[in-house]
Amino acid sequence: MVGLREILNSVSLGEGPGRPKKTDMESVKFGLSFRCCLDTPLTILPIYLALSTVKAAAMVALETDCPLGHFPCGNLSACVAQERHCDGQPNCPNGADEESCGDNSGWADLFDQTIKRLDPQYVPNHCFLQQFPDGCACAKTELQCVQMNLTAVPQVSRNVTSLSLKGNKIGKLPEDAFIKYTDLQRLFLQNNCIRTLSSRAFRGLYKLQKLVLSQNCITLLSSDMFRDLHRLDWLILDDNPLKSISKDTFTGLKSLFFLSMVSSSLQKLPQESLCYHMPSLSWVDFDRNQIRSLNFSTLTTCDNLTVLSLRANRITSLPENAFQSLRILQELDLSGNRIRALPYKIFKDLKSLKILNVSNNPLGHVHQGQFDHLVQLQSLGLEGIDIPDIQMQMFLPMRNLSFIYFKKFQYCSYAPHVRKCRPNSDGISSFEDLLANVVLRVSVWVMAFITCSGNLFVIGMRTVIRAENSLHALCIKVLCCADGLMGVYLLFVGVFDVKFRGEYNRNAQAWMESVECRTLGFLAMLSSEPSAARRRQTVAVLAAVWLLGLSIAAAPLLSDDLFGNYYGRNGVCFPLHSELGEKPAARGYTTGIFLGLNLAAFLVIVLAYSSMFYSVYKTGVNATDLRSRLRKDVAVANRFFFIVFSDALCWLPIFLVKTLSLLEVEIPGTITSWVVIFILPINSALNPILYTLTTSFFREQGEQLLCHWQRHAVLKKERKSLSSSVIYVEASRQNFYHRGYVPTVPIPEVDPKWT
């Protein structure tokens, strides 16, 4: 979700409205001073038009009779479903569904109110300063001495109005460092590593409007440091190791409306009112600090605050009345903290709020009426938050909501009145289909057919062929039963994909919480466990393997408190990778199965087949026929290699995905879908070939059966021909008898093979 800082940044750098990039805040906060003041109306105009378009679209949506979950095509009477808006493809005749897709909610008006620029007018760029160091850039009364290795504030003309000393080596600011520059309006001192800052360094700067002290080494701000800065409206203190501030730190800043202290190592905010000496404060940015708590009195006198950003701190809890005095607040960013619970009525006084972001907090519960009072809200960020008891009623009171961001795209079905909901896919499924990719939709049926038919064929053939070791045949048939379950799993994934075709998102959440989804996940896990254990030599061991597999697959179904919805994390019902909100027991269980049991089984398989090949090789050394021995060794080696290779092809990608997941590496959802449809069934599809169809005994028995069937078919054909001949002879005899002839060939003289 986009915040005001990012929007301002994009505008200052000439980027158009939409979903702007996050770039250096320097251009936003103080780069405006030298080069942007003349082009302000040209940048604000498209922003104003974009906001007007969004508002107009919202008004049309309210006036047009579109069914729930559909939105109008601009001024046309046609309606398009939520999932088809802003999907990159024009679905409206006039293309209106691809317009106003950027989340600019609430910020344009704030921008116009906050950033005040001069009207465009032609002013010559001649230098009006008489004194300044060589190498500095001068335009009118503005001076830039950037990266000149200056170690102290240089002597310049008294009429300077803007002074930039960024990127130098100024280590301290002594008393009265700028006392003679009474016309100075903008002062930029970032990236100097200033350590010592006199409490009177800025004395006499009564006209100063912007002060930038970011990227320095300031550890302490004295209480009267800014006493003379009555007209200061921008104060930037980013990236300084300050750790703490008090309400008296900002004494004298009665005109300040923008305060930024990003990445300043702040551990706490003042217990008393932050705005006591800053009654005009409108915008506060405390991103990426170490703030652990927010006292109920910290913001009590901040009546004019419109933007408050506390993103990426360490806040664990908030008092219910923390924001009660912020009645005109329009943007609140609490994302990336450690908040475990939000009080039920914490937002009840924020009647003007337009942007709320609480994403990526470990919230255990979201109250049903949590957002009921946010009637003006246009953008809501809930990314990274599990909402197991989500209901449509949670979001219906927010009638102006145009953008909403969830952790799971399945949640979008509970906000059908919101035009743009993200994410619109988890890499496996989309708004329309359980399997988003057409290749996956076809492949799931192909893999299901190969797996089911192959294993059923082997079970049937092993039942018909009885000349081999019966215990060995039992092991193979048990293995095929386990592999066949994978085919059944894929088959039903394909069936439910067809069932939900075109309207999956309406059923997604209910599907993943259903008994059917859990049963499919159980089958997939059960199939992978006995087949990973491989061949056993006794019925007791086979029974133990199946019992172990059943226990492993069924354990997550026994307790939702411990495992949550273990199998219902995605549309294909298979728990491959971990998530931030995953319960500790589920995470440990999945890790133990995939990186414990299955990895150990794979290593045992590799060692066992290596040992068997070595034994076969040693036995063959004593053979007298060298050529025959080599041929047999190569055949055995090839077969063992493909058995181990198929296991590696199946399990190594799964081990890799699981390891990356534990390391909290972001894994695209598409990886999961391809692993489940193509990689996981590899063993199940290839085992019938490797353990039966490629064996010499099976080929010999198969050839004998084929030969027997062919002989049987020939004999059947010959008998059919004999029957036809006998019928013909009988008919001929009757004709002869009618003519008075007597047959000359007696029946005993007929060739015996026809009898």
Q: Are 116 and 129 in contact (CB under 8 A)?
A: no
Taking CA atoms, 755 is separated from 281, 721, 726, 732, 748, in Å, by: 114, 12, 10, 19, 10
CA distance 237 to 240: 7
pLDDT category of residue 556 using cuts at 50, 70 and 90 = confident
* Token code pair at residue 144: 């830039």
Q: For 175-189, 455-469, 735-749, which range has the lowest pLDDT when averaged over its residues?
A: 735-749
* Token code pair at residue 537: 């030599």
Whether the pLDDT of residue 139 is over 90: the answer is yes
Average pLDDT of 543-553?
Answer: 79
pLDDT category of residue 523 using cuts at 50, 70 and 90 = confident
Taking CA atoms, 66 is separated from 97, 242, 337, 416, 594, in Å, by: 14, 54, 39, 12, 48
pLDDT category of residue 616 using cuts at 50, 70 and 90 = low
Helix (H, G, I), strand (E, B) or coil at 646: helix
Helix (H, G, I), strand (E, B) or coil at 57: helix
Q: For 29-33, 208-212, 448-452, which range has the lowest pLDDT when averaged over its residues?
A: 29-33
* Token code pair at residue 79: 């309606």
The whole-number pLDDT of residue 7 equals 44
Average pLDDT of 593-609?
Answer: 77
H helix or E strand, kind and range, residue 30: none
The whole-number pLDDT of residue 124 equals 57
* Secondary structure letter of residue 700 according to DSSP: H
Entry field: residues in the chain? 755
* Secondary structure letter of residue 425 according to DSSP: B
CB atoms within 10 A of CB 548: 14
The whole-number pLDDT of residue 348 equals 93
Average pLDDT of 246-252?
Answer: 91
pLDDT category of residue 568 using cuts at 50, 70 and 90 = confident
pLDDT, one tens digit per residue, over 364-415 is 889 989 999 999 999 999 999 989 888 889 999 999 999 999 998 888 888 8
Task: Find all residues with CB under 8 Å of 461, minimum gap 6, and list them.
Answer: 692, 698, 702
Please identify which residue in the block is written with the tokens 């980013």: 238
pLDDT category of residue 88 using cuts at 50, 70 and 90 = confident
pLDDT, one tens digit per residue, over 75-84 is 666 887 776 7
CA distance 701 to 706: 8
Query: What counts of helices (H) and strands (E) characterise the chain?
Result: 17, 18
Nearest in space to 93 (alpha carbons), one of 108, 72, 111: 72
What is the four-CA torsion angle of 39, 40, 46, 48, rounded to 10 degrees? -170
187: buried, middle or exposed (CB in 10 Å: 19+, 13-18, 0-12)? buried
Cα angle at 327 between 324 and 330, to 5 degrees? Answer: 115
- 558 or 313, higher pLDDT: 313
Average pLDDT of 660-667?
Answer: 76
The whole-number pLDDT of residue 213 equals 96
CA distance 577 to 587: 9
pLDDT category of residue 285 using cuts at 50, 70 and 90 = very high
User: Which range has the top average pLDDT, 218-232, 573-587, 620-634, 705-719?
Assistant: 218-232
Whether the pLDDT of residue 55 is over 50: the answer is no
pLDDT category of residue 469 using cuts at 50, 70 and 90 = low
* Secondary structure letter of residue 332 according to DSSP: E
Nearest in space to 354 (alpha carbons), one of 15, 59, 701, 55: 55
Whether the pLDDT of residue 259 is over 80: the answer is yes
Whether the pLDDT of residue 570 is over 50: the answer is yes
User: Which range has the top average pLDDT, 213-217, 556-560, 686-690?
Assistant: 213-217
Question: Average pLDDT, whole number, for the chain?
Answer: 77
- 260 or 104, higher pLDDT: 260
The whole-number pLDDT of residue 701 equals 66
